[in-house]
Amino acid sequence: MIQWNFNVDDYTENTGFKPIPIGEHRVRIASAEEQVSNSGNPMIKLVLDVSGYNSTIWHYVVFMADNQKFTNQKLGEIFNSFGIPQGNLNTASWIGKVGAAKVKHDTYNGETNAKIAYFIAKDKQDKLPAWQEPSNKAEVTGQASGIPAGFTPIPDNNNLPWN
């Protein structure tokens, strides 16, 4: 069991999540993880940082053997937008690549969330501003990523100070 001395004065109820605005945004691949979908198909879960926002958008590419054309179209859009060599499924090499996407809003269970409508081809990204890191890392904007603002996750390795 975790031993922790909770201080209620450190807690404030968060009621101010605002989704990333609809429109075209530069996005950066923060992580790309191979997983299995609920239907049992292989998939890639992308976590995308959005230029100028302290939030992430999750995007899933499901590999559907019964609809290879659709899967290849989705992969091709990602390869083209982020400058990833065609057919490169080494997702570790995708991390940190910057591309662009059109963001839309979907409502689920009464909450509005930002989603990727589509990825923008590299040759169509010239009109977008250059990548911008969030100006205030503690600011609460955009879609909740599940990680509190200002929180730095512990690295998953053996170089921890208490090992």
Query: Are 36 and 42 spatial neighbours (Cβ–Cβ below 8 Å)?
Result: yes
Where b means 16+ CB within 10 Å and e means fewer, 49-84 reads bbbbbbbbbbbebbbbeeeeeebeebbebbbbbbeb
Asked which of 48-52, 112-116, 154-158 is least confident by mean pLDDT, the reply is: 154-158
Confidence of residue 142 (pLDDT cuts 50, 70, 90): very low
Q: What integer pLDDT is reported at residue 4 of this predicted model?
A: 82
Task: For 51-96, write each residue's pLDDT tens digit.
Answer: 999 989 999 999 999 999 999 999 999 999 999 999 999 999 999 9
Segment 137-151 mean pLDDT: 41
Q: How far apart are CA 138 and CA 145, in angstroms?
A: 13
Q: What integer pLDDT is reported at residue 17 of this predicted model?
A: 66
β-strands 98-108, 23-36: how paired? Answer: antiparallel
Task: For 101-126, write each residue's pLDDT tens digit.
Answer: 999 999 988 889 999 999 999 999 99
Task: For 8-40, write each residue's pLDDT tens digit.
Answer: 887 776 655 678 999 999 999 999 999 999 999
Q: How far apart are CA 151 and CA 85, in angstroms?
A: 33
Q: Which residue has the higher pLDDT, 35 or 4?
A: 35
Q: Could you tell me which of 58, 56, 54, 100 has the C-alpha nearest to residue 78?
A: 100
Residue 143 in this model has a pLDDT that exceeds 60: no
Using the Cα atoms of residue 153, residue 157, residue 159 and residue 160 in order, give the sign of their dihedral: positive
The residue ranges of DSSP E strands in the chain, in sequence order, are 23-36, 42-50, 56-62, 98-108, 111-119
Q: What integer pLDDT is reported at residue 13 of this predicted model?
A: 67
Q: What integer pLDDT is reported at residue 15 of this predicted model?
A: 54
Q: Could you tell me which of 23, 47, 78, 53 has the C-alpha nearest to residue 131?
A: 53
CA angle 114, 116, 120 (to 5 degrees): 135
Cβ-based neighbour number of residue 115 at 10 Å = 18
All domains in the chain, ordered by first residue:
18-124 (2.40.50)
Q: What integer pLDDT is reported at residue 18 of this predicted model?
A: 79
